[in-house]
Structure 1
Amino acid sequence: MRLLIEHRTAYRFSQPQRRLIQLLRLTPASFVGQAVVAWRLDVDRDARLRAGRDGYGNETTMLYVDGPLEAITLTVTGEVLTEDRAGMVEGTNEPLPPGLFLRATPQTQADAAIADFAATLAAAEPRPLGRLHALCAAVQARIAFDPGDGNPHRDAATAFADGHGVCQDHAHIFIAAARLMGHPARYVSGHLWRSDGALVQPAAHAWAEAWLDEFGWVGFDPANGHCPTDAYVRVAAALDYRDAAPISGARIGGGDEALHVDVAVAQAEDQRQS
Structure 2
Amino acid sequence: MRLEICHTTEYRYSEDAWDSHNEVNLYPTANERQHVRGFHLDVQPHATITTHPDYFGSLVHHVHVHERHRHLLIQAQSMVDTFPIVPPPPTPFEALDELRQDVIEFLVPSPRVPHGLWPTLFGVTPPEANTDLAAFLKELTAKLNQEFTYKPGATNVRTSLEQFAQSRAGVCQDFTHAMLGICRVVGIPARYVSGYLYSGGEMLGADATHAWLEALIPGQGWVGYDPTNNCLAGEKHVKIGHGRDYGDVSPVRGTFYGGGRQALEVSVHVYN
* Residue matched to 2:225: 220
CA distance in 1 between counterparts of 2:217 and 2:206 reads 32
CA distance in 1 between counterparts of 2:142 and 2:176 reads 12
Kindly state the Cα deviation for residue 74 of structure 1 after the two structures are TM-superposed. Answer: 0.8
CA distance in 2 between counterparts of 1:252 and 1:44 reads 17
* Residue matched to 1:241: 246
Quick check: 1:176 aligned with 2:174?
Answer: no
Give a deviation string over 1:214-249, Cα, whole Å, max 9, x none.
Answer: 322110000001111101110010000011111112
CA distance in 2 between counterparts of 1:216 and 1:197 reads 28
Give the TM-score normalised by the residue count of structure 1.
Answer: 0.87
SS in 2 for 1:3: strand
SS in 2 for 1:139: helix
SS in 2 for 1:234: strand
Contact 1:13 1:255 in 2 (8 A): yes
* Residue matched to 2:56: 56
Q: Gaps (5+ residues) in structure 2?
A: 89-100
Quick check: 1:68 aligned with 2:73?
Answer: no
Kindly state the Cα deviation for residue 149 of structure 1 after the two structures are TM-superposed. Answer: 2.6
Give the TM-score normalised by the residue count of structure 2.
Answer: 0.88
Specify whether residues 163 and 68 from structure 1 end up closer, same or farther in structure 2 by C-alpha distance, changes over 3 A only: same
CA distance in 1 between counterparts of 2:86 and 2:38 reads 24
* Residue matched to 1:186: 191
Alignment-mate amino acid for residue 262 of structure 1: S
Give a deviation string over 1:125-179, Cα, whole Å, max 9, x none.
Answer: 9211111111111111122100233513323222122110000111100100010
Kindly state the Cα deviation for residue 254 of structure 1 after the two structures are TM-superposed. Answer: 5.2
CA distance in 2 between counterparts of 1:166 and 1:113 reads 18
* Residue matched to 1:100: 105
CA distance in 2 between counterparts of 1:10 and 1:189 reads 20
Contact 1:118 1:178 in 2 (8 A): no
SS in 1 for 2:39: strand
Kindly state the Cα deviation for residue 258 of structure 1 after the two structures are TM-superposed. Answer: 1.2
Alignment-mate amino acid for residue 26 of structure 1: L
* Residue matched to 1:13: 13
Identity of aligned residues (%): 29
Contact 2:119 2:125 in 1 (8 A): no
* Residue matched to 1:83: 83
CA distance in 2 between counterparts of 1:87 and 1:237 reads 21
Task: Count residues in correspondence.
Answer: 259
Give a deviation string over 1:50-80, Cα, whole Å, max 9, x none.
Answer: 0110001111011111232211111111211
CA distance in 2 between counterparts of 1:31 and 1:83 reads 10
SS in 2 for 1:35: strand
